[in-house]
Structure 1
Amino acid sequence: MILASSIRRLRLTDFRNFATLDLDLDGRPVCLAGPNGSGKTNILEAISLLAPGRGLRGAETTEPLRRSGDEMAASWAVYAEAVTAEADDISFASGLLEGGRRQTRMNGKPASRADLARHLPMIALLPEHDRLFAGPRADRLRFFDRLVAANDPAHGETLNAYEKLRSRRQKLLESGRTDPAWLDAIETDMAQHGVGLASGRLHALARLQAAIDAAADDVFPKADLALDGLTEAALAAGAGIQEAEDQLMTALAEGRDRDGAAGRTLTRGPHRSDLTARHRGKEQEAGLCSTGEQKALILRLVLAQADALSQRSGAMPLLLLDEACAHLDEKRREGLADAICGLGAQAWLTGVEAGLFAAFGNRGQVLAVENGSVQV
């Protein structure tokens, strides 16, 4: 049985342009309508800070503090009461502590990344993702890794460990202190974490592609996805874990001089992999499609990921969809509403006018946002 995570109460204190906010909600999708700059995305960001990581804006801990003229609040806080697959009543809180440190709690106790990801999974889609397939490789990889981590919290920990090791190796190479034994040890650890990353991505990609292929509607186009990476290719070709680790260690060792001279890791490790997509119906690379078609492809991908995650874990994630209806015609807006309601997900959507959400009818909760206040 699939159970949907949903926020039933949301409270903000001194967060961005909200002095206070207290919303009582039900499990239906939440549609936030209002002019640009009214605070719609701020609400989505606040919710995202109840998940592992730095939120959908990647903000520093003091950035969300409310400012009024020359005055700045001393702290900010986000509090939510939610129904999840784990329990009917769980509280989540995140806020700024003394010393500029952020802490996130669940039922009043400090929460780990794994706890948050398991109890309140969420997937975010932002306007900058509209042309994700035409943009920089690093943005696509970051987006995909977040999707993988939503399904597998350990993936995020593996990625953090790999990046820390990569940074240590690069600093050593640039300093000239290239003790081979020291570098060998770092690169051995990098290879272990790197192969773990690649393996996790391949498994997630297979589940995601299966969910895309199984979608019955034709409102959003289907994409054929692939991962372009040295380690991913080795594993996909049948290489064992040890063989893939040895291959990556060899590549790193051979690239030491080049990476040190370049000031960045040019060696083709998992940090330089890419997510590629092809519009199946048009037989065209996704990056060459129109903005509207790319938006539709991304929406298909996000909806498929939500479905794949729920099938694996039994929990439907929250969907944070900022300006999701932009670049969509009426048919696709209707298709999006039907898809979200069909999944049973509590999606949080933003848009400049309430008419964008007409397709939800009484299946959604439309709230008016203006100047840091919300009207039901």
Structure 2
Amino acid sequence: MPDSVRLTRLTLADFRNYASVSMSIGARLVALTGDNGAGKTNLLEAVSLLTPGRGLRRAAFAEIVRKVAAGIVSDSDHAARPAPSGWSVSVLLEGPGGETRIGTGYAPETGGRRVRIDGADARTADELSDYLRVLWLVPAMDGLFTGPAGERRRFLDRLVLAVDPGHGRRVADFDKAMRQRNRLLEDGGEAAWLDAVEAQIASLGTAMAFARRETVSLLSGLIEEHASDDAFPRAALALEGPFEDLAAATPAADLEDAFADLLKRMRPRDRAAGRTLEGPHRTDLAVTHLAKAMPAGLASTGEQKALLIGLVLAHAELTGRVCGLTPVLLLDEVAAHLDPGRRAALFARLDLLGGQVFMTGTDTTLFQALPADAQRFAVSEGTVRAID
């Protein structure tokens, strides 16, 4: 069983619509209710920023700073101060090593984002993964199966990142090397320079592909374990695209060389196109509704939502198994479009996962089926209040 990790306090300053707020959290299942625009999703976003990356909204850090219309903040003692230029998020968490304080924030005057762990500056945000894994499901993902391949690829890489923290750096380095190759092709760069950058792309791209393939394989196996759960339909997962065809036809030990050779042969075509046309950056995640043997994108809206929830729940379980730490799961408006039976099934499955879950909704009745020990908060403009 994975070790339990849960947040016991969440503190924000100058974050979105919150000047300052501190929440004491005493449960694994937490429901946040309030009107649209009250700031429920902002609280989830704050928690999502305690992982590498830009969080569930993928917002630029400067956009998160609390906006003050007049440019001046009036404090309760009537003193005036300039509008905030940065924000901060910190949590106390209980984990296998005891209590840890982790935080992150943005301050343009000190060079952008900072991460601190127990009061000490972290070298990179990647260190957060040693203490906390955060997963999420938000309404923007509802069109995942019908939207562009790039969205599914980004979703896939988040799945991989949760179980393999090094994947984020590989993807970033791969993208950087791809941009270098594209510039060299455009500028008529020397063959020796292209050989070098293509060797780097082939190495990183092959590692990315293997990590994706491993995660999809593990996730597929775990989904099969829940074959008897009919509340959320099972999904079949596959990786598709020309690069995946190359990988399937090539021994694993030879894939890196085969990819490098393909890049070399594709130079004239890529130069004409102004971009690299083939590689793992074009891979798509294909999802099939198993019971109906149809692509997920052709299923009904309700079936797509249920498929996505089932996939996220399976991934949360996989993350706990692989990493040895229960993840924190953020579910934004997840219950609003579920019938009462499926809603109750969701809450029961979340309870069994053993990790901490934060859920949002506009109506307290959505969470009536939560266990008695769940915690509820009322969210209004810039404030959070525990509900007895």
Alignment TM-score > 0.5, same fold: yes
What is the rounded CA distance, in whole Å, between the counterparts of 1:277 and 1:46 in structure 2?
A: 30
Task: Determine the structure 2 residue equivalent to 1:95.
Answer: 105
What is the rounded CA distance, in whole Å, between the counterparts of 2:330 and 2:382 in structure 1?
A: 19
What TM-score do you get using the length of structure 2 for normalisation? 0.92
Task: Determine the structure 2 residue equivalent to 1:193.
Answer: 204
Which AA in structure 1 matches 2:40? K
What TM-score do you get using the length of structure 1 for normalisation? 0.95
1:179 corresponds, among 190, 207, 217, to 190
Which AA in structure 2 matches 1:328? L
1:123 corresponds, among 132, 135, 138, to 135
When structure 1 is superposed on structure 2, of 325-334 and 229-238 the one drifting more is 229-238
Determine whether 1:80 maps to 2:91: yes
**Contact 1:122–1:318 (CA under 8 A) maintained in structure 2:** yes
Unaligned runs of 5+ residues in structure 2 are 72-82
**Contact 1:8–1:26 (CA under 8 A) maintained in structure 2:** yes
Which AA in structure 2 matches 1:15? F
Determine whether 1:246 maps to 2:257: yes
Q: Is the partner of 1:133 in helix, strand or coil?
A: coil
Determine whether 1:310 maps to 2:310: no
- For residues 137-157 of structure 1, the C-alpha deviation after alignment (integer angstroms, 9 at most, x for no partner) is 000010010110011001111
Describe how 1:271-310 pairs up with structure 2 within 5 A.
271-310=281-320
- For residues 150-186 of structure 1, the C-alpha deviation after alignment (integer angstroms, 9 at most, x for no partner) is 1100111111110110111112222x23211101100
- For residues 45-97 of structure 1, the C-alpha deviation after alignment (integer angstroms, 9 at most, x for no partner) is 11111111111111212111111213231221111000124x22011111123
What is the rounded CA distance, in whole Å, between the counterparts of 1:16 and 1:239 in structure 2?
A: 50
**Contact 1:165–1:186 (CA under 8 A) maintained in structure 2:** yes
What is the rounded CA distance, in whole Å, between the counterparts of 2:106 and 2:255 in structure 1?
A: 42
Q: Which runs of 4+ in 1 moved over 6 A?
A: none
Q: Is the partner of 2:369 in helix, strand or coil?
A: helix
- For residues 308-367 of structure 1, the C-alpha deviation after alignment (integer angstroms, 9 at most, x for no partner) is 111122211000111112321111111110111011111111111111111114242111
Q: Is the partner of 1:244 in helix, strand or coil?
A: helix
Task: Determine the structure 1 residue equivalent to 2:335.
Answer: 325
What is the rounded CA distance, in whole Å, between the counterparts of 2:246 and 2:172 in structure 1?
A: 22
**Contact 1:90–1:107 (CA under 8 A) maintained in structure 2:** yes
RMSD: 1.5
Q: Is the partner of 1:41 in helix, strand or coil?
A: helix
Change (3 A) 1:363 1:255: farther
Q: Is the partner of 2:98 in helix, strand or coil?
A: coil
**Contact 2:7–2:91 (CA under 8 A) maintained in structure 1:** yes
- For residues 171-221 of structure 1, the C-alpha deviation after alignment (integer angstroms, 9 at most, x for no partner) is 2222x2321110110011000000000000111111101111101421100
Change (3 A) 1:302 1:354: same
What is the rounded CA distance, in whole Å, between the counterparts of 1:292 and 1:104 in structure 2?
A: 39
Task: Determine the structure 1 residue equivalent to 2:74.
Answer: none
Unaligned runs of 5+ residues in structure 1 are none
Determine whether 1:110 maps to 2:113: no
Task: Determine the structure 1 residue equivalent to 2:222.
Answer: 211
Task: Determine the structure 1 residue equivalent to 2:68.
Answer: 68
**Contact 2:238–2:286 (CA under 8 A) maintained in structure 1:** yes
Change (3 A) 1:257 1:237: closer
Q: Once the two structures are aligned, what percentage of the paired residues are identical?
A: 42
Report the CA distance between 1:100 and its aligned residue.
4.9
What is the rounded CA distance, in whole Å, between the counterparts of 1:33 and 1:284 in structure 2?
A: 36
**Contact 1:310–1:317 (CA under 8 A) maintained in structure 2:** yes
**Contact 1:235–1:244 (CA under 8 A) maintained in structure 2:** yes
What is the rounded CA distance, in whole Å, between the counterparts of 1:273 and 1:316 in structure 2?
A: 29
What is the rounded CA distance, in whole Å, between the counterparts of 2:199 and 2:356 in structure 1?
A: 43
**Contact 1:64–1:76 (CA under 8 A) maintained in structure 2:** yes
Task: Determine the structure 1 residue equivalent to 2:179.
Answer: 167
Change (3 A) 1:326 1:167: farther
Which AA in structure 1 matches 2:38? S
- For residues 127-146 of structure 1, the C-alpha deviation after alignment (integer angstroms, 9 at most, x for no partner) is 11112111110000100101
Which AA in structure 1 matches 2:182? Q
When structure 1 is superposed on structure 2, of 46-55 and 65-74 the one drifting more is 65-74
**Contact 2:132–2:328 (CA under 8 A) maintained in structure 1:** yes
What is the rounded CA distance, in whole Å, between the counterparts of 1:23 and 1:114 in structure 2?
A: 25
Task: Determine the structure 1 residue equivalent to 2:39.
Answer: 39
Task: Determine the structure 2 residue equivalent to 1:340.
Answer: 350
**Contact 2:17–2:382 (CA under 8 A) maintained in structure 1:** yes
**Contact 1:291–1:327 (CA under 8 A) maintained in structure 2:** no
What is the rounded CA distance, in whole Å, between the counterparts of 1:356 and 1:42 in structure 2?
A: 20
Which AA in structure 2 matches 1:219? A
Determine whether 1:50 maps to 2:50: yes
Which AA in structure 2 matches 1:39? G
Determine whether 1:257 maps to 2:273: no
**Contact 2:115–2:125 (CA under 8 A) maintained in structure 1:** no
Report the CA distance between 1:233 and its aligned residue.
4.0
Report the CA distance between 1:235 and its aligned residue.
4.0
Task: Determine the structure 2 residue equivalent to 1:269.
Answer: 279
**Contact 2:288–2:295 (CA under 8 A) maintained in structure 1:** yes
